[in-house]
Amino acid sequence: MTVEIEDYLVQMRTRFSSENAALEGPTNALLNGVIANPESHARFLNTLSALEQMGGHRIMVSQHGRALDLATLKHLSEETRHAFFFKRQAERQMGRPLTYESHEMFAPNSAYQYFKRLEANVKRCFEGRGGARAPYLTMSMIVEFRATWAYQLYQSQLARASVAISLTSLIAEEKGHLLDMARRMDRTGEVNYRVLARLSSVETNLYRRFLQQMLAETGLRQKLFAGADGCTPKNVLPSVATKELRSFSLNKCPASGEMEGGGHGQAAFNSQKCD
C-alpha cells in the first residue's frame, strides 16, 4: 500500500468520526436500550445478521464468473460467517430459531433500503468508467467504515452491560476488509478520493434514517424525545449526552412520512456530479 493511500485512510477515519459525531449519542442510546431487554437484543442481533447476509449476497450477485479471485471469496466467506455469528447469538438470546421476517427484526425495510440506495449511488458514480470491480470495492470500503465504527460502539456497550458477547475478532476482520479494499483499489489505480468522500456522506444520511427508524420501532425514540414533533431530547439516559441528542434530533428529525424518503442530503448528492 502506498503512503498516499495510508494517509488517506487516516484522513478518512478522521472525517468519518467528525461527520458522525452527532450520531454517536443516539446510537449508544439504541444499543443501551436493546441490550437491556433480552427479546429486543435478540431482534437487534438478528437485524445485524441480516445486514451481514445482505452484504454477502451483494458480493455474490456482483462478483462472479471466471475472474473471481481468492480475496473476494475470503470477503464473501467472512461476511457469511458474521451473519452466522449474529444469528447464533440472536437465537441464544431468544431461546428459539429466528427468521429474517419483519417481526423478528428491527426496521427491516430501512435496512434493505440502506443497501439498495447506497448501491444505486455507487453504480451511478461509476457509469461509463472504472473497472468491473471498482463499484464493489468502493461500496465495500464505505460499508466497512460504518461497520468498524458501529461495532466498536456496540462492543463498548456490551462490556459496560457485562454481556458475554465478544466482537473483537469480528472487528479485526472488518478492519482487515477495509485495508484490503484500499490496497486493491490502490493497485488498480481506481481510487477516487472525491467519490469516496461524497459516497461516505450519502452513507451517513442513509444510516441516520435507518437509526431513526430503529429508535422508533424499539420505542426508544418516545423515551428519548418529547414534544409533539418527537424531537425535543429528554435527559433520561445518563450515558448519553443531551447535547448529542439535540444535535441529532433538531437537525435531522424527519416527519413520519420522510423516514424512508430521499432526504435533503440525498437530493443534494443527486444534483451533483460524482467527480
State the cell numbers at 73.
471469496
d(CA 201, CA 256): 23
User: Residue holding cell 433480552?
Assistant: 38
* Residue 167 Cα to chain centre, angstroms: 15
Residue 140 structural domain: 3-270
Domain total in the chain: 1
Are 179 and 166 in contact, with CB atoms under 8 Å apart?
no
**Tens-digit pLDDT profile for the chain (275 aa)?**
455 777 788 888 889 999 999 999 999 999 999 999 999 999 999 999 999 999 999 998 888 888 888 989 999 999 999 999 999 999 999 999 999 999 999 999 999 999 999 999 999 988 877 677 888 899 999 999 999 999 999 999 999 999 999 999 999 998 888 888 888 888 877 777 888 889 999 999 999 999 999 999 988 876 666 544 445 455 444 444 445 455 555 344 433 333 333 444 444 444 445 66
- Please report whether residue 275 resides in a domain: no
d(CA 198, CA 226): 33
